[in-house]
Structures are given as C-alpha cells and as structure tokens.
Amino acid sequence: MKKGSGLWTRTIISIGVTLLGIYMVFGPRSGISAKDFTWEGIKKNLSENINLGLDLKGGSYLVMRVKIEDYLKAVTDNHRQAAFEAAKEAGLSVTDATETAENGNYSVTLIFSDPSQKDAIIEAVKKKVDFNNPIAPWNVSSTDNSITWTLPLQSQRALAKQATEQALRIVESRINTFGVKEPTLQIIGSEDSGRILLQMPGVEDPERVKRLVSAESKLELMKVVSPPYPSPIQTYATREEALASIGGRETLSRKVFPYTEREETTNGERKQRFVVVETPAVIDGSELRDAAAVSRTGIEGDYQIVFSLKPSGAQK
C-alpha cells in the first residue's frame, strides 16, 4: 500500500505540474482554440509567454568599455583652459597653464608672475572651474609662482563611476527602441570599471546594435531667437520659412533646428516645427556636473532632464 500510495502521489504531482505549465503558456490568453495546439500555435505561444535567454533564443551579446582615461584627460584639459581663462578675465598675472594627464596622474598648473596675486587667482578660478566638485574634489597646492590642482585617486574613481553610470543610462535609453523582452544591461566588475554588459535575446543584428549604442550624442543649451517672455516662442512651419527669417541661409551666429512642443499633444505624433537659435551654445555638456532623466508621470517616454551645472555654467 505504501508503494502504491507513493506512486499515486508522484503521479498527481506530475499531472499538477504539467497542468500548471500548460496554464502558464496558454492562460494569459483571453481564450484557447484548437489552433493553439497545432505546431505553429504552440511555437507562437511559447515565444510570446516564455522569455528565452541567449542560449536558447540566440541574439546579441556585447561588452562595452567606457574610455575612462580619455574621459579624465578631457576633464583635465577642459579645467586647464577654463582656469587660465578665469584668471585672465579677472585681470590677474597668469603667464601659462600646463597639465599632466598620463599614467594615472591628472593635474593642472597655472604659472603667474606676481606672488601677491596667488590667493586672488585661486579665488577667481574657484568661481569658474569645478575643482571643488563635491563628488570628486581636486587637491590644491602652490609655490611662489605656481598653483597646482591635482585629482586624487579617490576622485578619479568617483568620476570613473559617474561616467560609467551615465553611459549605462544612455545605452538603456537607446536599446528601449528595440522592444526586446528583458534585455540584460549591467556593469561588469566594480562600479568604476567602465565595462558594461549588454545581452539582447532575439536580436540577430549585432552591427545595428553597435551603431545604435555607439552613436555620438551632444547636449547643448541654445538661445532661441524669439520675442521676449511672456510672448510664445517663435516657431516656423517649415525649415525654408525659418531660413527666410535670417536671410535665406544659416550663418555663423544663426542656425535652424527642428522643434517639437512637449505638451502639444497627448496622443499620436507631435507636429514638428522649426526654430532659429543663436550659436555658439550658451551651455554645452562639458559645463554640466550631472544630469538624469526623471519621469513626471511614470508613462514611458515622458521624461524631464534634471541637471546641475559646474561653476562656469552656473554663472551664465
């Protein structure tokens, strides 16, 4: 009796698991028809209701690397130029600006001729350059005729982490256009490693994925040529109409860009118009300390950009 009882128990469990599996495949559908039990119907239901990984479904597997060294070199070079210009604009006696950006060493040095202006130079640079970034502060030291700002290892790691996280967010926003179920996107190793893993089950065109995630993007805040507030922003129905307003062609100080009003419609496609903007940009991405997309409503695609500026950008 005990053997028979155990057999019946296993049989009931097996039947229960089988029925549960069938329900998980067909249950989410509003109704079941005879077509669901054909070979094509079974394959369709499996593909729609079971998310297969790369090992079963195939797809694209990419490992990306953020060029941390190049990023830190660019930060150092931008700070060197900004520091020199800040001191010059303040009418101080700076004569040269140098930088070191190799082998894990990143520093900026200003050379000046009047030792009595040392504190004034430090203060002028502090107002314009992001050496006091709370996330990644630089150390400052000085001699009678030079001031040096050095990026310590801890701050290097903080900037590397920030760059990696920003790259992750950018890649995530771009792969959403594929509509892939449960893509894998994560940082490999430490938070400041600069390595990002992307797995996209079912996407068999890795070159397309590479083009999408590696496309260059550039953020600039530009002044629109328009009547002063509270008048509505000046827009044009066509690019040709916008060009006509500036003499028929773009110039070094005036460019035409497409413009879409965010609140224009709630359903369907938003109507595109055109605006004339002043160049160069008032603020570009190099003057942003941090930025993030924040959803106001939780609806996909409805985001606002929240950002903080470096001192040079904030003063504009």
Q: Looking at 34-38, 70-74, 234-238, which range is the least confident one?
A: 34-38
Half-sphere exposure for 221 (CA within 13 Å, toward CB):
13
Domain borders along the chain are 2-50, 53-215
Among 22-31, 144-153, 159-168, 187-196, the range of highest mean pLDDT: 144-153
Question: Per residue in 156-173, is it b (16+ CB within 10 Å) or e — as a string?
Answer: bebbbbbbbbebbeebee
Task: Quote the pLDDT of residue 295.
Answer: 55
202-227 confidence digits (pLDDT tens): 667 777 777 777 766 677 788 899 98
Structure tokens at 170: 């950018």
Place of tokens 């695609």: 301
Q: Which residue would you say has higher pLDDT here, 69 or 192?
A: 69
Q: Residue 280: is the preceding peptide bond cis (ω within 30°)?
A: yes
Residue 300 CA to residue 138 CA, distance in Å, equals 39
pLDDT at 56 exceeding the cut of 50 = no
The average pLDDT across 276-305 equals 69
pLDDT at 310 exceeding the cut of 80 = no
**Is 171:184 a contact under the CB 8 Å cutoff?**
no
Helix 68-89, helix 118-128: angle, nearest 10? 120
